[in-house]
Amino acid sequence: MVTYVDNGLTQLSIGKLAGGVSASTISRYIKSNKIQPLPQSSSRKLRYSVKDVEQIIGNIYTKKFTSRRKVQTFYNFKGGTGKTSLCFQVSTHFALLGFKVLVIDADPQGHLSTSLSIYNDDNHLTLFDVISGHATLEEAVKPVFKGLDCIPANLSLTRLEVALNQMAKREERVRIILEPALTHYDFILFDSNPTISQLNRNLITFSNQLNVVCETQPYSLNGLKILFEDLNRFCESMQIQRPNINIIPNKYEDRTSSSAEAMTILREYYGEFMKADFAVRKSEDVNISAKNGLPLSFFAKNNSIAFEDIVDLIHYIVEQSCDVEK
């Protein structure tokens, strides 16, 4: 089990997360506030605790932002696109930025929960228990580290589909139950299951933004067309405004023609929904991060393309989702 108290970030990683602030600026802040490194960190590469990192980045970078699109879902009904990996990175790093985050695992496979060291064989409460009225929201929430809470998932979540179909306003139950939590969190993030399910209909209804994770491969592009058609039909039938769409091209490989062709098509047909000239590149660091339950900033090397891309993605979502104090 990961204990985040034993892990921390270097000044260089803190600077990157704080909007590209130089290490010298971070160093000055640390010295002026008498912040001590973790005792177990190497003298050649000092690391600072989660609590201190949140304070540093919060004061240097995050304090100018007020969250507006608070509810966001990592979405695609095609499996294997990398939704869970990106949701893990964004939720943990949002908390490191100093935002108060609730991340909800809405996939019965529970892979996000596992990355957060909450395992399937544990007898924990899930979104099923909250929506069904078997538990309160507060009872289901598990703290991960300061600033990050989680409602985990396990196979009991499969029972939610039947339960939702028997409820009034079945497409709105998640919103009805979780809306009060918006006063306690800057962001509520969902990792969705890869199906067209009643639960996912609820997430669409509640979400301010859908972060649609799309592999840069032909099959994924075909699925994207179907996804938009289904999403538009559903929002029209519910008479609701479609959530803001942020398409995240994922697992991009520079040297493969299929990735390059996919990016060309994505820009041509979906460019308005994408960060310009951006894709999350394929990297083993992302797999290592998920396996070890450590966000990239805790271990990635200075030249890690994975950390570089995740930092760009995090800043982009923050800028999309927040009002900036002038």
Distance CA 191, CA 156 (A): 16
The parts of the chain modelled with pLDDT lower than 50 are none
Q: Decide whether 4-60 matches 64-324 in CATH topology.
A: no
Q: Locate the domains of the chain by residue range.
A: 4-60, 64-324
Helix (H, G, I), strand (E, B) or coil at 142: strand
pLDDT of residue 122: 63
Per the structure block, which two tokens stand in for 213?
A: 């994770």
Task: Say if residues 103 and 150 touch (Cβ distance below 8 Å).
Answer: yes
Nearest to 211 by CA among 236, 255, 245: 245
pLDDT of residue 221: 84
Q: How many CB atoms lie within 10 A of CB 17?
A: 27
pLDDT of residue 42: 82
CATH domain 4-60 topology: Multidrug-efflux Transporter Regulator; Chain: A; Domain 2 (1.10.1660)
CA distances to 21, 83, 240 from 79, in Å: 37, 8, 26
- Architecture of the 64-324 domain: 3-Layer(aba) Sandwich (3.40)
Distance CA 144, CA 153 (A): 14
CA distances to 34, 57, 110, 207 from 176, in Å: 45, 33, 23, 12
Q: How many CB atoms lie within 10 A of CB 293?
A: 19
pLDDT single digits (tens) 115-167: 999 987 668 999 999 999 999 999 999 999 999 999 999 998 999 999 999 99
Rg (CA), the chain: 20
Helices (H), the chain: 11-17, 23-32, 50-60, 83-96, 111-115, 127-131, 137-140, 160-165, 173-178, 198-206, 218-238, 257-270, 284-292, 305-321
Distance CA 293, CA 85 (A): 10
Place of tokens 């240097």: 60
Per the structure block, which two tokens stand in for 320?
A: 């999309």
pLDDT of residue 1: 56
Helix (H, G, I), strand (E, B) or coil at 316: helix
pLDDT single digits (tens) 9-33: 999 999 999 999 998 999 999 999 9
Nearest to 155 by CA among 114, 116, 212, 103: 114
pLDDT of residue 252: 96
